[in-house]
Amino acid sequence: MEKLLIEDYAAEGRSLARWQGKVVFVERTVPGDVVDVFLYKNKKDWAEGYPLTFHQLSPVRVTPFCKHFGDCGGCQWQMVPYEQQLQFKQKQVQDALHRIGKIPLPELLPIIGGRNDRYYRNKLEYTFGTYRYVPETEFKKAPLNSPKGGTSGASDKAESFELLESSETSSFAGGLEEARGAVGFHAKGLFDKVVDIKHCYLQPEPSNQIRETIREYALAHGLSFYDVRHHTGFLRNVQLRICTTGEVMVNVIVAEDDTKKTAQLLEHLKQTVPSITALLYTLNTKKNDSLYDLEPVLYSGKNYVIEKLSPGPGEEDFQFKIGPKSFFQTNTYQGEQLYKIARDFAELTGNEIVYDLYCGTGSIGIFVSKKARKVIGVEMIEAAIGDARENAAMNNLHTAEFYAGDVIDICNNEFFAVHGRPDVIITDPPRAGMHEKLVRKILEIAAPVIVYVSCNPATQARDLNWLGEKYAVTKIQPVDMFPHTLHIENVVQLKLK
């Protein structure tokens, strides 16, 4: 499709154009761009594609600050000014709630933007890969239908990216190179190719220092990187947690049971980066990257880090013990904002019993606990409940209790007789939202107030539609936890009709 005018933003980090009555979703574009588009999906009423030629660049574009933008897929909107990102995310929430929720809604409160739009993540994972992803800029003069190019089949488009800033590369035009030294993130949509990261703006130091220290040592000492196709190699992943308290956890994941080689690497890392407070390794010889069924081994320091959340002026900081497999809000500062909104929406006076569903390690329940009479946390994952109980004890809370299991099974009349019925329910489900059976259970419980924290406004809207049987939506507050990405959090207050 030639010379399409990009008209508006769309979901999932894309923008949209229209062609002969068809909506065309286009990646890596901004409203105001005029582009030739190659379609990789073409349906009756809509299509998806990526830009081949930029005939005109939008006046709202800004230059991405990261040289890896467009390759790793971690930050989809660096070419969009942050204030415009926030405006679109606000619109994205509103559209999803109206289109899917189909229930009466109050006016949305203005979105709360990130305190920092760089170096905001407390957790990050890098991958060691045998196959380095080659950015388009490294071979953009080559025909795209040559063995070294991509798969668009449009060889006359070899010059097609000339109008783009040099930092705006395309994963679609990228290639594959066998290399021992690829350390970074998977290229978008490609399981076996790793974008070789030189500097990442997502996590504060010593994040980049740790990654480069491991890389340099590995190359100097002949340590092999993991080959995901053949399941061979030594270094597989490294997980980093860097807390606002200054504590740093590093968990190096290896695929070979060689304790001597592992210890030598970890000792070098310990000596080179002395700020590491928790240094561990995990042996993973499985074909998948999941660590939930594996046990990290402590090499040096503690096997956990401490993070803090400040509820408000004059209030004591809450501390949270985070292990190598614990869940915690990835953006600590915005996590505080999210929890403050949840607490405000709960309208606590000190007399309420609060049920915290999907409580994880108990962070929301603990955060609101000082304004509640009692907090009851429920979570399916037993290990998370163990963390929640430890966190409650660490903060000297005697009014917060946590239980492992399914809410549908736990919250019965016998349980209510012991712990009391909830005055407020706080629910923070995963991206898939709540199971319909749980929604039915919540409707049966009929707590006066529900606070619904969501990382996916679309599934939240579906659940609000179900809850609309008994509840009215009374407040809506979007929160941006992840600047330059397509993700958005939203907090909704509901009250019994």
Largest CA distance in the chain: 74
Burial group, residue 147, by CB count within 10 angstroms (0-12, 13-18, 19+): exposed
At residue 94, φ and ψ (nearest 5 deg) are -60, -45
| d(C-alpha 83, C-alpha 111), whole Å | 10
Whole-angstrom Cα distance, residue 273 to residue 218? Answer: 16
d(CA 400, CA 373): 9
Closest CA to 7 of 35, 44, 41: 35
Which residue stretches of 6-137 are H helix?
82-96
**Residue 101 DSSP label:** I
- What are the residue ranges of helices labelled H in 275-419? 332-346, 363-368, 382-394, 407-410, 413-419
243 is catalytic: no
3-state secondary structure of 421: coil
Question: Can you tell me the distance from the alpha carbon of 406 to that of 368, in angstroms, rounded to the nearest whole number?
Answer: 22
Sequential DSSP letters for 76-92: S-TTS-HHHHHHHHHHH
Q: Which residues contact 85 (CB under 8 A, 6 or more apart)?
A: 77, 480, 483, 484
Burial-class residue 135 by CB neighbours within 10 Å (0-12, 13-18, 19+).
buried
* Residue of 66, 75, 359, 455 with catalytic role: 455
> Side chain identity at 250, as an amino acid letter?
V
CB 334 within 8 A of CB 481: yes
Comparing C-alpha atoms, which of 162, 140, 135 is closest to residue 72? 135
Residue 283 corresponds to which tokens in the numbers above? 């042996």
Tokens of 328: 């915690």
What's the burial of 376, exposed, middle or buried (CB within 10 Å: 0-12/13-18/19+)?
Answer: buried
Active-site positions read 455
